[in-house]
Amino acid sequence: MPVIGYATLSGRALEECDDDLAGQAEVIARACQQRGMALVEVVREAPTGQGPLRVGLSDGRPGLRYALDRIAAGEARGLVVPGLRRLTRSPAELGPIVDWFTRRGARLVAVAQGLDTAEREGRIAAKVIIEVSRWERERLTEGVLWSVSTLPVPSAGACDADDGGAENLGDAAVPITFP
């Protein structure tokens, strides 16, 4: 079975990153050999900084998008990562990625966790990961909604004449839209 390896860099010094990438590539190659998978290539992701949480499949990670596109095109049947932390930065992001593999019948192997969705236990773990990720996204959304609901609503006359032209909203509800 042809698979793609995926290695990521952290924000450390360049020399450390090169060593880290080589170590990740070795872990990926060893896992492929042990499982009888043909490693097509190892995609390396450049460091991007931590940035805001994004729940998309590969937002801000062109290497991951490239690997997923190759899998979707049938050029490979799975992805091997040294560990789930290399695949995503948060539990909220992880579920949609694991779900993507599940829906396509593609294989996901996370070496550090012993996760292999080609095995029964791995498929069960994938379902749990997807559900926990959903809970985490709901928790984060509830936290945002709670934070917004605690913002003070300006009362009538609360804005001065010297407000720089701001409109007095009084007690009117302000619609808030989330993407």
Each of the 179 residues of the chain gets a pLDDT tens digit; together they read: 999 999 987 655 455 566 788 899 999 999 999 999 999 999 998 665 444 334 445 567 899 999 999 999 999 999 999 999 888 877 788 999 999 999 999 999 999 999 999 999 999 999 999 999 888 878 877 655 555 455 555 555 544 444 444 444 444 444 444 34
Neighbours of 159 (CB within 10 A): 16
| pLDDT confidence of residue 43 | 95
Q: Which pLDDT score is estimated for 179?
A: 40
Torsion of CA 15, 90, 32, 9, to 10 degrees: -10
pTM of structure:
0.70
- Beta strands per DSSP E along the chain: 2-8, 38-45, 78-81, 107-110, 115-116
Q: How far is CA 134 from the centre of its chain?
A: 12
Count, residues in the chain: 179
